[in-house]
């Protein structure tokens, strides 16, 4: 499972704070306060397996919140799986900020990743112009480590082949509503039948 939480930054940040999960028209993307993100855990528990792994995107300023969130969702922190160096960045409080991180939380018995020594932690890839868009390469690497498993993406902003993708920009719903629907057997697995872009897998040479 991959999650890209819509972190609500402080009022001094360039990203406005919103305390609910449905975005207003014209916002760059949905944001949510930590307590609302934590509340997703009880809905998530209804659709995830006892043995599962979570890859969670987080920025430097939100590292404490990220660690708290994955624990609240039932996935104790294991390590930092990936570091994305965006090539271009923004002036930070201390240094030029150009990296985002993917935390790993795991629950139950997880199979060993396939050929982990061939999957690199570091990715240097220019940031897409679309605000907060993450590189597809990260999910390709996750697929390479855990081939043939069920894949779920939370807060998705586009479809990806082979994944169940949930997000306000895809369905227009609060993600908790979509998780509850998924738990009841709603079909979110046929992106070709839904609006929006579908990212199709490509053959990659990991290294």
Q: Taking residues 136-158, what's their average pLDDT?
A: 96
Q: Taking residues 86-94, what's their average pLDDT?
A: 84
What pLDDT, on a 0 to 100 scale, did the predictor assign at position 126?
86
CB 163 within 8 Å of CB 139: yes
Comparing C-alpha atoms, which of 72, 153, 131 is closest to residue 107?
72
Q: Mind listing the domains of the chain with CATH numbers? A: 2-149 (3.40.50.150)
What pLDDT, on a 0 to 100 scale, did the predictor assign at position 118?
87
In whole angstroms, give the CA distance from residue 167 to residue 154: 6
Max mean pLDDT range (30-34, 73-77, 83-87, 117-121): 73-77
Examine the pLDDT at 90 and tell me if it is beyond 90: no
Cβ neighbours for 93, distance < 8 A, ≥ 6 positions apart: none
CB 53 within 8 Å of CB 110: yes
Give the angle 23-27-28 at the CA atoms, nearest 5°.
110
The backbone torsions φ and ψ at residue 133, rounded to the nearest 5 degrees and listed phi first, read -70, 130
Q: What is the pLDDT of residues 148-158, one digit of tens each?
A: 999 999 999 99
Which run of H or of E encompasses 38? helix 34-44
Q: What is the pLDDT of residues 51-63, one digit of tens each?
A: 999 999 999 999 9
Tokens of residue 69, six digits = 């969130």
What pLDDT, on a 0 to 100 scale, did the predictor assign at position 67?
98
SS3 121: coil
Which runs of E-coded beta strand occur in the chain? Answer: 2-3, 52-59, 77-91, 96-107, 122-124, 152-154, 159-160, 164-166, 198-199
What pLDDT, on a 0 to 100 scale, did the predictor assign at position 34?
87
Instruction: Identify which has the larger pLDDT, 187 or 58.
Output: 58
Examine the pLDDT at 5 and tell me if it is beyond 80: yes
What is each CA distance from 171 to 8, 62, 152, 159, in whole angstroms?
21, 26, 15, 11
């Amino acid at each position: 499972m991959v999650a890209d939480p819509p972190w609500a930054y402080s009022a001094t940040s360039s990203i406005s704070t919103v305390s609910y999960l449905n975005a207003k028209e014209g916002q760059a993307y949905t944001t949510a306060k930590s307590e609302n993100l934590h509340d997703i855990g009880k809905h998530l528990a209804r659709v995830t397996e006892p043995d599962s792994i979570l890859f969670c995107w987080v920025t430097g300023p939100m590292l404490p919140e990220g660690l708290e969130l994955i624990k609240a969702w039932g996935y104790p922190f294991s390590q930092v799986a990936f570091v994305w160096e965006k090539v271009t960045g923004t002036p930070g409080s201390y240094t030029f900020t150009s990296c985002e991180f993917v935390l790993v939380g795991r629950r139950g018995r997880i199979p060993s990743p396939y050929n982990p020594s061939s999957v690199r932690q570091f990715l240097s890839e220019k940031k897409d112009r679309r605000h907060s868009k993450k590189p597809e390469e990260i999910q390709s690497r996750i697929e390479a480590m855990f081939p043939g498993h069920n894949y779920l993406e939370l807060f998705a902003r586009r479809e990806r082949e082979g994944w169940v993708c949930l997000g306000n920009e895809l369905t227009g719903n609060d993600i908790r509503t979509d998780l509850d629907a998924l738990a009841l057997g709603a079909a979110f697995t046929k992106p070709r039948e839904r609006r929006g872009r579908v990212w199709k897998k490509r053959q990659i040479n990991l290294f």
